[in-house]
Amino acid sequence: MKQEQKARWAVATLRRRLDPTVGRRVIQAAPDQPACEVRLDRLGIDSSGFPADAVLRLPEFERTKGHWLKRREPDDFLPYGRVTRFASTTSIRELNVLSERQSHRLAGCKIMMIAEDQQGLRFADVCAVLELLPDVRVGLVELAWDFSPDSGVDGAFIRKHALFGKSRRRRVAEIRGYDSWGSRRGRQKFVHSYDKPEVRAQRLEIQVLAGLLEKLGVSDIFDFQHLTKLLPDHVVFAKFDEQSVIARLRNNGFSATGTIHLLQKLDDHSDDLYAQCNVLHRFARMTNIRRAMLPLLENKLLEEALRDWLTKWPAAPARLSQRK
């Protein structure tokens, strides 16, 4: 009897996690909500030190807790020995500081700023903290594209049409309302897509890591203008042009029957652009696959939202006489 009950619980859990209608738009748009809006959700900073007393003198900041970190396994490398957490009522909802480095190759400390959901990290709040830190360098930037229900972009659309450079599938259509590409432990980027009820939107988050930031030329907050290079090399909405695919298959020596058979395979995976790319890689040995794709109009949502957000981040520090 207990085994039958466990089996029923397992089936119920799977039904909650897996859903053929993942990504359906069930959230109503807020009044005057833009079709797409970019927010800075997290910002990682490397610094040679962290003046906690000076940060606590900022208005609306307080220390919440701190503790020493422990290794999960005895042989694990522990980069930093202590974490201290601060809270704020500004756009920086939480500020986490890793200190007590275990290697001289590491930065003196790592600071992670986590945004308040509705507004994202704001320049004034971020700048107020960074002005107190020595030897600042940006190590992580997490941008969030929030698509309203009226935009037509939801989880299913992102799976069907989004391509994130060379990032591979990680967890796609495995958990209801959540998909991810890339790796958190890499040096390029980690992407995930999920429903965000707090802002009534489908959120597409791109976590730009240290290696890619270096390639883009982003080392501080005044270099954010270079983030426009993410489009379309690292984030793009596209679909396959069937006529272009057929022409390339014929050039590769495929017969009419073989071409039809391969097109049927593509149609079987029409809900997942990465799966279609895998079909062409595996069965047609096709390279430069993006040449057979057509960009979609939804890319304008990505570009316009990013450019609108960048207007709030200056490209150079303001003189003291120009500050308000």
Tell me which of 20-24, 157-161, 174-178, 218-222 is least confident. Answer: 20-24
d(CA 250, CA 254): 5
Q: Which amino acid is at 252?
A: N
Q: How confident is the model at residue 59 (pLDDT cuts 50, 70, 90)?
A: confident
Q: Report the candidate in 193, 224, 195, 194 with the shortest Cα–Cα distance to residue 208.
A: 224
pLDDT at 318: 66
Task: Give the range with max mean pLDDT: 22-26, 69-73, 172-176.
Answer: 69-73
User: How far apart, in Å, are the Cα atoms of 303 and each of 25, 180, 297, 299?
Assistant: 23, 21, 11, 6
Non-local CB neighbours of 100 within 8 Å, separated by 6+ positions: 80, 81, 82
The mean pLDDT of 122-141, rounded to a whole number, is 95
- Summarize pLDDT for 243-281 with one digit per residue, the tens: 999 999 988 888 999 899 999 999 999 999 999 999 999
The mean pLDDT of 55-81, rounded to a whole number, is 91
The mean pLDDT of 93-103, rounded to a whole number, is 95
- Summarize pLDDT for 8-38 with one digit per residue, the tens: 777 666 665 555 444 445 556 667 789 999 9
Q: Is the model's pLDDT at 98 over the cut of 60?
A: yes
Pairing of strands 36-47, 109-115: antiparallel
Six token digits for residue 180: 């991810």
- The CA angle 61-65-68, to the nearest 5 degrees, is 135
Asked whether the beta carbons of 18 and 131 are under 8 A apart, the reply is no
With residue 44 as reference, give the H or E element that holds it.
Answer: strand 36-47
DSSP state of 221: G
First to last CA, the chain: 71
Give me the phi and psi of 307, to 5 degrees please: -65, -35
Calculate Rg over the CA atoms of the chain.
23
Alpha helices (H) along 40-154: 52-56, 123-130
Percent of all residues in the chain with a pLDDT value above 70, rounded to a whole number: 89
pLDDT at 144: 97
Asked whether the beta carbons of 262 and 249 are under 8 A apart, the reply is yes
d(CA 170, CA 210): 20
Q: Mean pLDDT for the chain?
A: 89
Asked whether the beta carbons of 55 and 87 are under 8 A apart, the reply is no
pLDDT at 23: 47
pLDDT at 4: 73
Q: How confident is the model at residue 310 (pLDDT cuts 50, 70, 90)?
A: very high
Burial of 65 (0-12, 13-18, 19+ CB in 10 A): exposed
pLDDT at 174: 84
pLDDT at 15: 60
The mean pLDDT of 81-99, rounded to a whole number, is 96
